[in-house]
């Protein structure tokens, strides 16, 4: 079919389009439209609309519109957006009503509601006679403009205010992270988490062109397991251990510490172990599990440094455990043997790549950015 609007560019027009593409910062639509005109030029490439649309990731209709605008109005219609023919619709909320909405969204929701929803906010504005009527979409747009999302919540570790014990523990950990790599006294971080084992009730449908892998939402619980992760951030080493819940927690922790000292670092003079404040992460657990003589042997080569209460984010092992969860555990794992096999494969790959954690937050940073935590400020 013969094109109704044909693009024929002169040398000067072609040069102007090339200047638009190659010089200065231009809006994306101007650069795209300039490319479309250059490729549509019958005195040049003369591409079809379909080929142009594929090359610049737009539709055939968009290409046809650009050609039409150029034929009817020249460059001004193609490279500059048309001015509004009608004034914009007046705001549905004036400044006072918008202030009421913001204050309302930051307040506690009414009794019987877990949180503010857009519809609930709209009905409350009408009930309070702030506006005669308003749609949830208008509420959403107003809150979006003010960067408010009252319908969302996020769990957060909130540290205590002006707490000397928190500051002491935090700075002790941060000072450790500034030390260089020392093979005689390595700094190792440790964390643990529980994993629920799940198996499919029905076989998944594998991925194929045009369709993602489909997994039935029903599953079978196959028990739980506990993962211990040890990592030395500066050397890029980590070890993952999977244990059942058959023994007490302090027993499992003590056995993992023994493996750390006797198998992972047998030649080290001592090991500094950074872990959270869980009540079993104490030297007394070694006595409880191994007896006084063996516990004393292990204790001579072990120094435990605890992150502060409500300060587990200071533990580098949490970062590594998050990577493990996102890369390996983000699926259904049916049994503990599969869990061990998969985590060992992940550990082997990460250690071979020597992936490290580049910790940037220092004690000096904490004294500025977390000034409100310091009791003397």
**Complete DSSP assignment for 230-288:** EEETTTTEEEEEEE-SSS-HHHHHHHHHHHIIIIISTT-S-EEEEE---TT-STHHHHH
Angle among Cα 311, 313, 319 to the nearest 5 degrees reads: 160
- Bridge-based pairing of strands 302-306 and 219-232 is unpaired
pLDDT tens digit sequence for 89-127? 555 788 888 888 888 888 888 888 888 888 899 899 999
| Residues across the chain | 377
3-state secondary structure of 227: strand
pLDDT at 324 (0 to 100): 95
The structure's pTM equals 0.65
**Residue 97: what pLDDT?**
86
Residue 1's pLDDT is: 55
Question: pLDDT tens digits for 330-351?
Answer: 999 999 999 999 999 999 999 9
Q: In 132-265, where does DSSP find H-type helix?
A: 136-145, 164-177, 249-259
**Percent of the chain as helix, strand, coil, to the nearest 5:** 45, 15, 40
- Give first-to-last CA distance, the chain, whole Å: 78
Mark the ranges of the chain whose per-residue pLDDT is less than 70: 1-3, 24, 75, 81-91, 151, 156-157, 246-248, 377
- In sequence order, the 6+-apart residues with CB closer than 8 A to the CB of 244 are 223, 225, 226, 336
Three-state DSSP class for residue 223: strand
* pLDDT for the residue 246: 58
CA separation for the pair 299, 293 (Å, rounded) = 10
Cα(156)–Cα(208) distance, integer angstroms: 39
């Amino acid at each position: 079919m013969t094109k109704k609007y044909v693009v024929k560019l002169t040398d000067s027009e072609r040069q102007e389009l090339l200047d638009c593409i190659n010089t200065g910062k231009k809006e994306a639509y101007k650069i795209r439209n300039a490319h479309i005109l250059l490729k549509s030029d019958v005195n040049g490439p003369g591409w079809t609309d379909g080929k142009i649309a594929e090359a610049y990731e737009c539709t055939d209709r968009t290409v046809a519109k650009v050609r039409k605008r150029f034929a009817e109005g020249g460059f001004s219609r193609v490279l500059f957006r048309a001015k509004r023919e009608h004034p914009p619709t007046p705001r549905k909320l004036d400044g006072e009503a918008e202030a009421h909405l913001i204050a309302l969204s930051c307040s506690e929701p009414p009794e019987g509601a877990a949180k503010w929803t857009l519809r609930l906010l709209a009905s409350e504005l009408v009930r309070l006679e702030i506006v005669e009527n308003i749609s949830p979409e208008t509420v959403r747009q107003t809150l979006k403009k003010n960067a408010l999302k009252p319908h969302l919540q996020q769990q957060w570790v909130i540290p205590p205010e002006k707490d000397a014990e928190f500051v002491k523990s935090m700075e002790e950990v941060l000072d450790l992270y500034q030390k260089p790599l020392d093979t005689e006294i390595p700094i190792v971080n440790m964390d643990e988490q529980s994993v629920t084992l799940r198996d499919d009730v029905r076989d998944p449908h594998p991925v194929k062109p045009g369709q993602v892998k489909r997994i039935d939402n029903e599953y079978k619980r196959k028990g739980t397991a506990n993962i211990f992760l040890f990592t030395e951030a500066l050397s890029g080493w980590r070890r993952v251990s999977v244990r059942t819940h058959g023994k007490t927690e302090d027993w499992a922790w003590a056995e993992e510490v023994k493996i750390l000292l006797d198998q992972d670092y047998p030649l080290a003079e001592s090991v500094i172990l950074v872990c959270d404040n869980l009540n079993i992460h104490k030297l007394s657990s070694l006595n409880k599990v191994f007896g006084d003589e063996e516990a004393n042997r292990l204790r001579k080569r072990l120094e435990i440094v605890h992150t502060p209460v409500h300060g587990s984010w200071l533990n580098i092992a949490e970062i590594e455990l998050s990577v493990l969860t996102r890369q390996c555990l983000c699926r259904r794992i049916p049994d503990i043997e599969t869990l061990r096999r998969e985590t060992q494969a992940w550990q082997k790959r990460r250690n071979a790549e020597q992936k490290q954690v580049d910790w940037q937050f220092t004690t000096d940073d904490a004294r500025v950015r977390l000034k409100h935590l310091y009791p003397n400020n």
